[in-house]
Chains A and B, each alone.
Chain A
Amino acid sequence: MMNIRFKSTKSRYILNAAAVLALYGVLYAMIENGILNRYAAGLLMTAGYNIILAVSLNLAAGFLGQLPLGHAGFMSVGAYASALFTLGLEMDGAVEFPLALIIGGLVAAVFGVLIGLPALRLSGDYLAIITLGFGEIIRVVILNLSFTGGAFGLQGMKRYSNFTNIFIFAVITLFVISTLIKSRHGRAILAIREDEIAAEASGIPTTYYKTFAFAVSAFFAGVAGGLYAHHLCILDPSTFGFMKSVEILVMVVLGGMGSLIGSVVAAFGLTLLPELLREFAQYRIIVYSLLLVLVMIFKPSGLFGRYDFSLGKTVDDLFIKLRAPNKKGGA
């Protein structure tokens, strides 16, 4: 059993890479040929950075098992940092933009550590409330600083974000977080979620890994912020309030805390759904909040639970079924 797995690992990577390229090719062709109009392409891009936000929050919420309520704060820090970077420099976009995103991510990660170190000494509800507090403080501070443009926000960023780079960063986020989960670092994070005392007793430095997970989570939120800033080309501090944090949380909870595919599907769906129901725009948040309550009461594990999709495994299973159609569930 173990042998088959080791053999197919490499082929699975190739399979996944091919599938990602194919998906990109199809979507790109559809945009280029006008099958998806500008509006639809814009939605796809919004879905892209929402996926990054949801997947990164899932690391802290689903895998680490904490409830951070200030994810929008990290996003705003990344957005402002990368926007100020590109506004302040006159470089070629191909150099400037990736750098700006990484800087946005790093600044957000630094904030993640600064907030995580004190907040993670507490657990559960206290952590939720303290991250909420920090999120609000970040917002108030951005609102009152002069170099962030105060209440007017920032504008004049170049429209660097496009379908291709948002797609690339969404794939990178998914790749990094899914590989992280399947490593000793990821197992340490999962162990903390399961039982902190047992994790410590097994030799896991829990504070270190909590802070680490928080920083990685914040990093990608910052990158998403950078993509957002160079997509809308205008930053308004009021968009990064508690509501935005909750919106991301709804995606994670609906998809399933601890399921990456769940976050992707939920982020995608919850980006498109309100647009399909534009006439009911005013009910959007009502629907969101109802969803949150109903999911918690009737299916607290979300749509996907902790299930994680593996293309390789699905294909393998399919082959096995095709080869031996009569032997169902054989050991």
Chain B
Amino acid sequence: MREPVLNVNNLGIRFGGLQALDDFNIHVNNNEIVGLIGPNGAGKTTVFNLLTNVYAPSRGSINIEGVNTMGSRTHGVTKAGMSRTFQNIRLFKNLSVIDNVKIALHNGIRYSFLESVFRLPSYWKQEKKATEKAMELLSRFDLDRHADSIASGLPYGAQRRLEIVRALATDPKILLLDEPAAGMNPSETAELMANIRKIRDDFHVAIILIEHDMSLVMGICERILVLNYGLIIASGTPEQIKNDPAVIEAYLGQQRGE
């Protein structure tokens, strides 16, 4: 069943004199994969930052499964069911891989400070559950053998996967992926493409994807939004986008007679 999980209306922000994003609308259904593309500086990451309230939007409304998250702090947005990865990988670098995941399980673990200081049975039980959950998530992404390594020591591709695992650990309904294929070679990208579909099917999440790799975007997105100068200039299926003159102009510049 397709039900709307995210409704965003008229979202916008100004940085000083610059209108970085204006009149942004997006409606995402359960289990849908939506692509967000556009030239550099078009405002794609700004969309993610506004959705997760890393920057406070100047106006607009954001609704996650009927819950208004405008004005919630970032952790509140995460709790409401939207989690994300970052373009320039932001792991907890000096902590172990498993701790990176267990941190994101924070709200799924319920014991109080006193229960943990006195190491009551509830502490042991919940910690054990958290460790098992984290290991299970890690093993799905082939990271379980690195569980005790320090995150910054992982190879680049594994760091990207770990960020996705961490985002999934918060039990999201919507997953925001910011250039997951950046820096990957074609075979890694192909693997990632399969992985993204699998994530959607296994975790029943909707995914919004920022990506420059067109084969990836065209290959897995059901719907694509194109941003340029902070405005949506086109939206539709990959086929429609490929042939949209406004999109071609935004990417290649206006064609002039030479």
Which A residues lie at the B interface, using CB under 8 A?
2, 6, 13, 175-176, 179-180, 183-185, 187-188, 190-191, 194-195, 197-207, 212, 306
Contact = CB atoms under 8 A, between A and B. Distances in A.
B75 interface: yes
B75 A205 contact: yes
Contact of A184 (B78, B93, B116, B117): B116
B194 interface: no
Interface centre among B52, B73, B106, B109 (most CB of A within 10 A): B106
B90 A198 contact: yes
Given A183-B116, A198-B91, 4 more contacts: A2-B135, A185-B113, A187-B106, A202-B104
B75 A194 contact: no
Contacts of A306: 94
A175 B117 CA distance: 8
Nearest to B92: A194
Interface of B: 52, 54, 73-75, 78-79, 83-84, 86, 90-95, 99, 102-107, 109, 111, 113, 116-117, 119, 123, 127-128, 130-131, 135, 166-167, 169-170
Interface centre among A175, A180, A185, A306 (most CB of B within 10 A): A185
A199 B107 CA distance: 12
Contact of A180 (B86, B109, B117): B117
A6 B128 contact: yes
A175 B118 CA distance: 10
B87 to A, nearest CB: 12
A176 B106 contact: no
Contact of A199 (B86, B94, B103): B103
Nearest to A206: B75
Interface centre among A183, A190, A206, A212 (most CB of B within 10 A): A183
A121 to B, nearest CB: 12
A198 B79 contact: no
Contacts of B128: 6
Contacts of B117: 175-176, 179-180, 183
Interface centre among A194, A195, A199, A207 (most CB of B within 10 A): A194
Contacts of A197: 54, 74, 86, 90
Contacts of B86: 197-198, 201
A198 B109 contact: no
A184 B111 contact: yes
B114 to A, nearest CB: 10
A191 B75 contact: no
Contacts of B131: 2
Contact of B78 (A6, A13, A201, A212): A201
Contacts of A191: 92, 95, 103
